[in-house]
Structure 1
Amino acid sequence: MSQQDIIGWDIGGAHVKAVLLNAQGHVLDAKQVYCPLWRGLNELESAVDSILFEMQATSHVVTMTGELADIFSDRHVGVLTIAQTMQHKLSAENPKVALKFFAGNKGFVSLEQVAEVTADIASMNWLASMCYLAKQLPQAIFIDIGSTTTDIALLSNGKPNVLGYNDAIRMQCDELVYTGVVRTPLMALAQKIPFAGQLVNVAAEHFATTADVYTLTSELAPEDNMADTADGSEKSVVASARRIARMVGWDAHDAPLSAWVGLAHAFKHAQLNLVRQALLSKLSLQQKTEESAGLPLQLVGAGAGEFLISSLAQQLGIPYCSVSDFIHAESSVTKNMAKVCFPAFAVASLGLSR
């Protein structure tokens, strides 16, 4: 694969991400497409088509989390179906296409091998990121805050140092936290929230999401806010204020906009606390490892919610760097999108080095 361009794919349940690299590992293009896979496989097919319209390569490598979509009866079926769909779509564009699937510690496998290793393929995009970073850094804590989830993983002595390799274990040991900066319902962040000088109850309703929070705080880039809103309405500041007001039983016109911006910051603080608690548990293990290795510690951040990670690093007094420091691209726009699509970038880079 090292003699030609390659596309790395990260097939999620809400987005499809793709990064095109040349033979030197430089990003030529990167794209994220909204893909509500729970609505049907046609959503994945349309997303792939839109990406292939803009970027082409003869070699492709795929990682995924979309097997969790509830159109599939289980992860095994989901992985197989996504793999078969990708083979169909990519071979339709080029019958001689080279396609491999990232199977974690088993490396890359062909479509014919997928059925035997679906557990190793399912939700391993975080491990693709870690395997790439292991080639760049000896020791770090990697955090990827996306639209829906947060991945936290230790890197020690140039190798992933994690407790879990599936979602169930990773959730138990704070390596996978179901919180993100776009799709997370605000009722999942806290049962009570500070507002207007009081601690008030939060409605257990899907009135608003974290996209509303970060629209009001002006921290979420429009190109990262692709998911549907809670009420199916527009994504403006006014609409976000209307939705977030409902979370505490008010209408937006009951208080000035500044009040709803303040409430957004309160929800941001609640989300930061969730990630901080998980991170502190990882720091405890990292400190034990560091004592024996004597290597410096730093946080490495990725994803649409990277701005939260830099805030955490500052709070904890830990050196911080972005994965963009390890990405080579001709334009800052392309580099930023590759950062958001980091698992796709990472799996493409690993595919080049095979």
Structure 2
Amino acid sequence: MDAMLSDSLQTEIVMEPSEIEEFKIMPFAEIFITLLQTITERYEGLPQPGHRLQFLELQLELLDDFRVRLLQLGNAENGEGIDSKIAIIANTTHYIENVLVDWGQMLHFLNLYYYKNQSEITKTRNLLSSELDNSLTDVDTDTVFVEILSLYRHMKKDLLYALVDSTVLKARYCSKNYRRESWSRMTIMKDMRSYSLTPSACPMFELLGTKLHQFKKYLTVKLFIVVWRLVAQQIDVFLYEKLVLANTFNEGGAKQFKFDTMRNLLPLFAQYTDKPDSYCTHLNEACILLNITQGSALLLKDMLTALEGATGVEDKRG
């Protein structure tokens, strides 16, 4: 295994994902799983539980070593294509996690979990029956891989957040000029067909489109869903706080921002969901409020004023 991982660390990660579309993992991960399966086949027939537990501990050590090597491999990556490489490492981590979940339900590993915890259960025999029942329930639901699974899941989460944070950070940088547009002095177009995307927004939208396409290509379906939703939610909050709340809009600016959001930003995510506005709630509501008629705005203002007054009276009484 050392030789296999050493070669992997010295070799640049292949840009193309695995031929198995469902997993898109690094090739040596399948070799590693085969190695663990071979070890299991060799020792599962041993008569003494203690001997089997020793081999299990070896497998757990190998799994942790493999996790650390994957982490080293990810940290060593830099330069062009880093996001696609991190994505494949995240897929590999997720693949190992799924394998361990499946193995944890196998009779062989369930028996080892029982043997491993038998001494601890014996010590609790003097506890109340309800507490003992809870201990037995834990035996049914936990597995021998619970600790290593937690480490793999934490690593996967960190990798996915690294992809999201990197994308949002670049989008923030690309949006500087867009956020500084003169939203309070924009011209009103009589025909909606005359509107086009604000030129200063193009770099940000182009970046988001490219990154989403890249993530869809390299991440598994499940992980891609997690990533694009996080990107959408963070972009939503960012533009709301740094653009909408930081600027004053005239009618022309409000219509232009609505066009940019509804006709250009949301369609980026509409490729992956029927309801992209569900992940950009701040911007969706901002567009509604910015573009309500003057009469509706005055009515809403009166309603909020009345509600504030009613709340104030209620607070004084309380």
Same structural fold, with TM-score higher than 0.5 when normalized by the shorter chain = no
Structure-1-length-normalised TM-score: 0.26
More strand by share: 1
Structure-2-length-normalised TM-score: 0.28
- Which structure is higher in RCO with an 8 Å CA cutoff and minimum separation 6? 1
